[in-house]
Every structure is written in C-alpha cells, then in structure tokens.
Structure 1
Amino acid sequence: MHVVHTIADLRQALAGSQHPALVPTMGNLHEGHIALVQRAKPLGDILVTSIFVNRLQFLPHEDFDSYPRTLQDDCAKLEAAGCDIVFAPKESDLYPEPQTFKVTPDPALGDLLEGHFRPGFFTGVCTVVMKLFSAALLGRPRSTAVFGQKDYQQLMVIRHMVQQFALPIDIVSVATARADDGLALSSRNRYLSPEQREQATALSKALQALAQASVQATQAGGAWASQVPALEAQALATLRAQGWQPDYLTLRRRSDLQAPNDQDGPGTLVALGAARLGTTRLIDNLEL
C-alpha cells in the first residue's frame, strides 16, 4: 500500500489505472469506513482511500481542531482491508491557495435539514469532493466513488452534483454500519462518555418509532400526511425528555427530502434525525 500526500504524487500513482475506485473519508476510521473500502475494492482496478479533515465543511464553533486525527492507525486498518493507495494531503496540499471557487448545491436540497442547521456545510462538502474527484478520478472513461448511507442527505447532494456536471463517476452507496445495539457507527461516537454511550441508542429508537407510526398512518389511508407534523413533534418530545437536544426528527420523501404527501408511502420515505447528547451531535436515518 502506498501513502501519498500531494495531488501530483497521487496522479502519478494512478497513471496506469483505467477505472479507479475512491473512498473519501476524514479518517479516524471505524468498521463502517472499512465496509466502504471492502465494497469499493472489486469495483475498480485500483483503490484509493482519501483521508482529509476538510475545514470548509466545519462551522466556526464546530470541532475542526479537535476532530480525531489517527493517520497511522487508519493506514494499518486500510492496508489490512486491501487498500492500494492512501491519499492523505495536508491542508496546504489540497488548498495551496484560498479556495475561493466553490461548488454550491441547489438550495432546494442543500439548505434544508443538515444545510439549515449547518449553513455552508454542503458547499464545503461539494467543493472538497469535487477536488478529490478531480485529483483521483477525472480524465478516465469510468470511475467509482463509494459513500455511506448514514450521511443520507450528503449522498443525495453528491449524486445530484455528479449528475448535473455529467461526471463519468458511478456513485455507490453502502448501508449504515451499526453497533450490536443499533447505534450508527460514527467517528464522533468517541466523544461520548460511557453513560452517554448507553443513552445514544435513543436516537435510532426514536427514528424507528417515527417510522413505525408513519407506516401505521399510511396503512390507515386517507389524508395520512397531515398526521406527520404531530408524529414528528412526538418523536422530538421523546428525545428531549431523555436529555437530548434535537435539531430535527422528520419524515421525508427519499427522492427530494421534501415533506411527503398522501400519495407517498412505504418504499418511498425516509426518517432522518440529528440531535446532540451533551456536546456530541449525532445523525441517523431509516428508510421505510
């Protein structure tokens, strides 16, 4: 396995590749990341995993400086998983000058939910992903990038970006990896105290309850969508009663993340949530 730090060295390492596969990460890898790597391995003739904590997608008060950086441990895990190249640029390697050109997603998708509570987040995501695509994938007739479904809205934004720019990149998604008790795996889970870790499953349970209540409403027929705000309010109240600070717990259409209507039903919907437990913000989702 090769570890490279500059775009020039990455491109040199990929010079003979006709169909590379890329797994973009911010490092501090867990089993969910390794599942992405294992899914990507057979999809290309060479596999690149990028590790870069992207300042552009953090708000000033968020955890950019304290975000766990564990490159040596990450490389050991990636080598064991069969990764061919680790691209681990410094900030000055990826942004040698201020990144004044940025990729801004459609506000109809990028300014709601995560984009509402973290303004500018998806512009930062799209900009760094486009730069990673340019460094590792573009210039070839076909390539692949693999992302996790835990970041559901992010996955949608990236799919739309690839479609609108007509990029010759297949976007492959992998189901959310979970601990035995149902908690979605996340690098930020390390911030949780032992007591908070025991409480952390409440988010996935709240989404399951919202999904179940929504399915029951659709099965009853009629103007079921009018019940959704009350179901969401109940889910929020349940989390708050357990000491959480939720940003949202909501039911949306999978296709565009807009509120459902009476014609929507199971197979077209997703429950999404984001909430803080102490100072740790967790996200999760559940398709139904």
Structure 2
Amino acid sequence: MQTFTTASALSEALAAVRRPGDTVGFVPTMGALHRGHAALVKACRLECDVTVASIFVNPTQFNESADLETYPRTPESDRALLEAHGCDFLYFPEVDDVYPDGPDTESLVMNLDYGTLTDRLEGAHRPGHFAGVVQVVHRLLQIVEPDVLFLGQKDYQQVAVIRRMVSLLDLGVRLHIVPTVREQDGLALSSRNRRLSPDERLVAGKINQHLGAVAAGLRSGWPARELEQLAIRGMAALPALKPEYVEVVDGHTLLPYQDGDPVEELTVLTAVRVGDVRLIDNRIAYRANPS
C-alpha cells in the first residue's frame, strides 16, 4: 500500500496505474478503523481494480468542538488494517491539503437543495453537520475521481444526503452501500464505541435490540408511532441510555412513515447518548424489492 499526504501526489500515482476499462473504488474514512471499515475495503477489492482509502478527520462536520477533540486517532493501526485488507492507495492529508483555500462556506455543493434529507433527525440535532459532510465528500471525489464510492449503511441519513448530492451534480460515481457490521450483541461497530466504559458498552448493546423490536413490529402491522414510543421508553429506562430520537421513516424521503403508505424502503433510525458518547444506528424493516 502506498500512502500519500497530498492530493497532487495521489492524483499523479492514480494516473500512472489507471488502465482503460479499470474501475477505481474509494472508501472515505475518518480513521479509528474497525471491522466495519474492513468490510468496506473488502467490498471495494471484490468489485474494483484499484482500491483507494482516505483517513481525514474533517473539522467542518463536527458541530461540537469537544467531539472533534476527543475523536480517536489511531494512524498506525489504521494503516495496518487497510494494508491487511488489500488497500492499494491511502490518502492521509492535513487540513490545508484538503482545503487549500480554506473551507468555502458558500460553495455550490453546500447550497444545493437537499429537501427534507438535511432538515430532520441528525440535521436537526447536529446543525451544520451535513454541510460539512457534503463539502468534504465532494472535495475527496474531486481528488480521487473514483468510479464507485463505498459507504456504510450505519450512516443511513448521510448516505441519503451524499446520494442526493451525487445526483444533483451528476458526478458520475456509483454508490455501493455495505450493510452495518455488528458486535455479537448487536451493537453497530463505531469508532466512538472505544470511548464507552465497560458498563456503558454492556448496555449499548440494547440499542439494536430495541430497533429490532420496532422492525419486527412494523412487519407485523403495529402502528409506527406506538412502536417509536415503546422503544424510547424502553431505552430511557436503562441506566446510561438517553435516546434523542427513534423514528420510522420512508427511506427515500426520510419523512415520518404514515401507517399503510407504500414505501420502497421502511427504516427505523435512532440516536442515543450512552454516557457522554453519542451513537447512531438503524434497521431496515422492509424493502419493496429485497436484494
């Protein structure tokens, strides 16, 4: 695996290896890598001729400075994981290489019409977060110029926003969404999990159990709003868990699902504070055309 700290050096290296007909896959990360990221790299290796990953803790998507300061950074183990799973190129830049002229808060990509995708859920709880996400993803796509972008289902709303950006700008990159990787007790793998105390880690596994119960209830015809409230009350009754929201949504619009409405994908999403750590997760209850 070759590591580059500048966009110009990475672009030059990619230009040297690209052959007609080859596909380049890209896995953007913020480091603190785990088996979920490994699954993204594996999927990329299977589908593409060249695998590129990035490690960049993007400051513009953190709405809480404390979250940025405490975000785990493990560069040596991150490199080892990427290399072990067959990554070809790693882009590991400083902020001024990604944003050589500084973050442009008036850029087109940040002012596109994302409709309801950025207004609710994480958008309401983390003001400015998605503006930072689309800014950095757009910049990274400009640098790497991949054919396929690999993202994880765990960041469900983020995926929806990026998909919208790609469509509006006609960027010509295809999104490949990799299912969430979980611990044995169902906890979604997250870089933030390492900040949990042993007791918090134990109770955090209950989050997925409540989402699973909501998904099962939806498939059995229970009212969505009733299931949401049952999950919120159930998690709030547990020590250290403070649910911010549990919502059943139309996966296309992320608007609240109304019982009986036809949807292509029915999903339950949640954000829960476990002690001082904020975790997000989701479960897809139903797809109209299961793959």
Q: TM-score, normalised by structure 1?
A: 0.91
Match of 2:137 in 1: 129
- Stretches of structure 1 that go unaligned for 5 or more consecutive residues are 219-226
Separation in 2, partners of 1:94, 1:285: 30
Match of 1:113 in 2: 121
Separation in 1, partners of 2:50, 2:120: 36
Separation in 2, partners of 1:134, 1:178: 32
How far 1:280 sits from its partner (Å)? 0.6
Match of 1:185, SS state, is coil
How far 1:45 sits from its partner (Å)? 2.4
Identity across aligned pairs (percent)? 41
How far 1:191 sits from its partner (Å)? 0.5
Match of 1:229 in 2: 225
* Residues 192, 279 of structure 2: 8 Å contact kept: yes
Match of 1:259, SS state, is coil
Separation in 1, partners of 2:263, 2:183: 25
Separation in 2, partners of 1:94, 1:148: 22
1:17-166 correspondence runs (5 A): 17=18, 18-100=22-104, 101-102=106-107, 103-104=109-110, 106-137=114-145, 143-166=147-170
The letter of the residue matching 1:110 is: T
- Runs of 4 or more consecutive aligned structure 1 residues displaced over 4 Å after TM superposition: none
* Residues 200, 277 of structure 1: 8 Å contact kept: yes
Match of 2:15, SS state, is coil
Separation in 1, partners of 2:89, 2:42: 14
Match of 2:258 in 1: 261
Match of 1:223 in 2: none
Separation in 2, partners of 1:97, 1:268: 40
How far 1:20 sits from its partner (Å)? 1.4
Q: TM-score, normalised by structure 2?
A: 0.90
Worse-superposed segment, 78-87 or 89-98: 89-98
* Residues 251, 272 of structure 1: 8 Å contact kept: yes
* Residues 236, 243 of structure 2: 8 Å contact kept: yes
The letter of the residue matching 1:236 is: I
* Residues 215, 265 of structure 1: 8 Å contact kept: no
The letter of the residue matching 2:31 is: G
Whether 1:7 aligns to 2:7 is: yes
Match of 1:221 in 2: none
* Residues 267, 287 of structure 1: 8 Å contact kept: no
Separation in 2, partners of 1:261, 1:236: 18
How far 1:73 sits from its partner (Å)? 1.1
Match of 1:255, SS state, is coil
* Residues 59, 118 of structure 1: 8 Å contact kept: yes
* Residues 32, 73 of structure 2: 8 Å contact kept: yes
Q: 1:263–1:234: structure 2 CA closer, same or farther, 3 Å change rule?
A: closer
How far 1:65 sits from its partner (Å)? 1.5
Match of 2:172 in 1: 168
Pick one of 236, 240, 253 that aligns with 1:240: 236
Match of 2:231, SS state, is helix
Q: 1:154–1:2: structure 2 CA closer, same or farther, 3 Å change rule?
A: same
* Residues 31, 73 of structure 2: 8 Å contact kept: yes
**Aligned-residue CA RMSD (Å):** 1.6
Separation in 1, partners of 2:202, 2:103: 41
How far 1:228 sits from its partner (Å)? 2.3
How far 1:267 sits from its partner (Å)? 6.2
Match of 1:63, SS state, is helix
Separation in 2, partners of 1:66, 1:262: 41
Match of 2:282 in 1: 285
How far 1:245 sits from its partner (Å)? 1.4
* Residues 22, 136 of structure 1: 8 Å contact kept: yes
How far 1:266 sits from its partner (Å)? 8.2
Separation in 2, partners of 1:19, 1:228: 42
